[in-house]
Amino acid sequence: MFRAGLLTAACAGLLILSPAAEAQYGGYYGGGGPAPGPAPGYGGPGYGDDHAAHCARMQDRLHEIRYRMQYAPPGERERMAARAEDLRDRLRAECWRRY
């Protein structure tokens, strides 16, 4: 009795997950066609890559300035600290992440 129920459940599971069931019911997106693209007004793959690269360059520059400040003479540290603060403010204003 248990074996028959288990076999029936296994067959039903295979039938539901089969490619034939997806073809019949249209899959995840409901239709037989391809998945929908991005909404109007939004770019597809690669959207915002230039902005992300710009933010990454500024963040790398900020890390470099902070690293160089550790080994700079005291007079130079003050100038570099001002540059780092300006760059950090630009990062906060132009980029999405918190800096």
pLDDT in tens, 28-67: 555 556 666 666 656 555 666 788 888 999 999 999 999 9
Q: What whole-number distance in Å separates Cα of residue 22 and Cα of residue 60? A: 47
**Could you give the number of structural domains in the chain?**
1
Query: Does any domain span residue 63?
Result: yes
Query: Does any domain span residue 74?
Result: yes
Q: What whole-number distance in Å separates Cα of residue 50 and Cα of residue 22? A: 39
Query: Does any domain span residue 27?
Result: no
Query: Does any domain span residue 21?
Result: no
Q: Give the confidence band of 95 by pLDDT, cuts at 50, 70, 90.
A: confident
Query: Does any domain span residue 70?
Result: yes
Query: Does any domain span residue 42?
Result: no
pTM strictly above 0.85? no
In the block, which residue shows the tokens 């780092």?
Answer: 84
> Phi first, then psi: what are they for 29, rounded to 5°?
-90, 5
User: What pLDDT is recorded for position 38?
Assistant: 61
Q: Which domain holds residue 69?
A: 50-99
Query: Does any domain span residue 62?
Result: yes
Q: Give the confidence band of 8 by pLDDT, cuts at 50, 70, 90.
A: confident
Query: Does any domain span residue 86?
Result: yes
Identify which has the larger pLDDT, 45 or 97: 97
Q: What is the mean pLDDT of the chain?
A: 76
